Amino acid sequence: MTETLTGAQIAIRLLERQGVRTVAGIPGGAILPIYDALGQSTVIHHVLARHEQGAGFMAQGMARATGQPAVCMASSGPGATNLLTAIADAKLDSIPLVAITGQVPRAMIGTDAFQEVDTYGLSIPITKHNFLVNSAEELLEVIPRAFEIAASGRPGPVLVDIPKDVQMQAMEITDWPAPGTRQMPPPADALAISEAAGMINAAKRPILYLGGGVVHSGAASVAVDLANKANLPTVMTLMALGAMPVDHPLSLGMLGMHGARCTNLALDECDLLIAVGARFDDRATGKVAAFCAQAKIIHIDIDAAELDKIKNAHVGIAADVQEALERLLPLVSENARKIWVDRTDALKRDFPQHMPDLDQPLSHFGLIRSVAACLDDEAIIATDVGQHQMWVAQGYPLRRPRQWLTSGGLGTMGFGVPAAIGAALAEPLRTVVCFTGDGSILMNIQELVTAAEENVNVKIVLMDNASLGLVHQQQTLFYGERLFASQFKASPDFIKVAQGFGIAAVDLDTAANPCAALMEAIARPGPCLIHASIDVQQKVYPMVPPGAANRDMIGA
């Protein structure tokens, strides 16, 4: 059947054909034709964010919870610039995102027209790829391709900038392109796989080092199988938490700047590091020269540019990590590795993560564990960025890939609330908890009204120390206790703020029984803000001072 459609209608039809059912965005002049077409769609639910950055993080929440590319939209100029932080965040954490922006009509591009900005140029360094669409016909190629690029290889954000006249251009269309889907990379090199297996079999003190790529590629279960078969003590990056259940006997938890002492000390002793979907980020390695200094390295990553970028690998394998691990598994021999496992068990016993006051629901770790006690592994745990994020990473019993949504690479305050809303939209049967701080929540507080409007099942646990906690901590430890610009002299009444935005709110500070109040708030469907004051003097410990070797941790 031949239809005459506008570029805007074609764009929306292509999104429908991609299977997109929810998009987050904000309309504006240069994207109104697309919104007009979107309004006619019977299958796509549009979530109206209150700031484009919120829309970007909602899409991220959908993508992180499901693994599928998610879509956000904004108009030209400030709409597009407001999206940039969320796009950059997706780039650093390899999250598949398709951002669609309106642009001024082609004839006006380059004239400093109203709300014109060089969206294409601005987005080059923070996207995996970007497009400036020149005709309605081009959309037929560009939009499926955008989804294919976002989902294939190392996932990432793709921006599609569509001038308004292209949105309004009508054309006849008969045949539709196939939706863009994830393309698999070539299989892992057989020789390198067998060499890696030989190294694992010969190693006395190997450690498996899992990164976010394990979650992205769906390799968590085969990674755990490999660890079990060869008895590989396993560390995870911030992005990989949940890939192996934290209470698995071989789990050493999170490594790096705020990893437990036992984790970093075990890495110091290993003779083989098996890095899988990890990129040797500075927060994970500390001083690189001192990181696993005695170890040989096997590095498996889908992105060939990650191999030898920070540490030279003895065996580097550029491949999908799930495929590579599945091929590696039968070649690795069963091995009790008793001496090494006993050694890491002793380290875990002697140098565990210190979690004081677990029985106090209003202490930081006590609050995190009290929340966990109200939930099972089906829940999704999102965080903002700061001390609360690290405490949750250290203390929450994460047991499932895609259970954990956090801004790792870019470390964006303001990520948590909109990402949690996005996750709740994509996974409506799950409870979504967002741990946040009083600094972070104010960076996207406006999305509370979106949470109310969509009635999402999001529980926001606000750990309030009236300060920028990690800044406060670093000034205390490394800047001679000269606290500057890290303590808020005025704080809003967060209970009233939440209620003003139309969501329920509970203050654990004043609750007669904080545990009961928490449980009731989490059990009640719909959005809720749960406020708890915490002690500003509490630090995230242990801590590797910036630039130091991981063995030189300070604090507990």
- Least distance (Å) between residue 180 CB and other proteins: 13
Q: Which is nearer to other proteins, 130 or 370 (CB)?
A: 130
**C-beta separation of 269 from 205 below 8 A:** yes
- Least distance (Å) between residue 95 CB and other proteins: 17
Q: Which is nearer to other proteins, 305 or 554 (CB)?
A: 305
- Least distance (Å) between residue 124 CB and other proteins: 5
**C-beta separation of 282 from 291 below 8 A:** no
Q: Which is nearer to other proteins, 134 or 294 (CB)?
A: 134
**C-beta separation of 82 from 47 below 8 A:** no
DSSP 258-327: TS-HHHHHHHHH-SEEEEES----HHHHBSGGGTTTT-EEEEEES-GGGTTTSS--SEEEES-HHHHHHH
- Least distance (Å) between residue 19 CB and other proteins: 22
> Using CA atoms, how far apart are residues 217 and 212, in angstroms rounded to an integer?
9
What's the sign of the alpha-carbon dihedral 63, 56, 239, 306?
A: positive
Q: Which is nearer to other proteins, 153 or 422 (CB)?
A: 153
- Least distance (Å) between residue 140 CB and other proteins: 17
Q: Which of 103, 120, 324, 309 is nearest to 210 (CA)?
A: 324
Q: Which is nearer to other proteins, 3 or 308 (CB)?
A: 308
- Least distance (Å) between residue 161 CB and other proteins: 10
Q: Which is nearer to other proteins, 62 or 150 (CB)?
A: 150
- Least distance (Å) between residue 96 CB and other proteins: 15
Specify the pairing of strand 458-464 against strand 528-533: parallel
Q: Which is nearer to other proteins, 125 or 480 (CB)?
A: 125
- Give residues in contact with other proteins (CB under 8 A): 120-121, 124-125, 128-130, 132, 149, 303-305, 308-309
Q: Which is nearer to other proteins, 125 or 330 (CB)?
A: 125
C-alpha distances in Å from residue 327, one per residue of 191, 224, 232, 274, 296: 11, 14, 17, 15, 21
Q: Which of 242, 292, 239, 236 is nearest to 265 (CA)?
A: 292
CA angle 472, 475, 481 (to 5 degrees): 105
> Using CA atoms, how far apart are residues 121 and 294, in angstroms rounded to an integer?
44
- Least distance (Å) between residue 480 CB and other proteins: 31
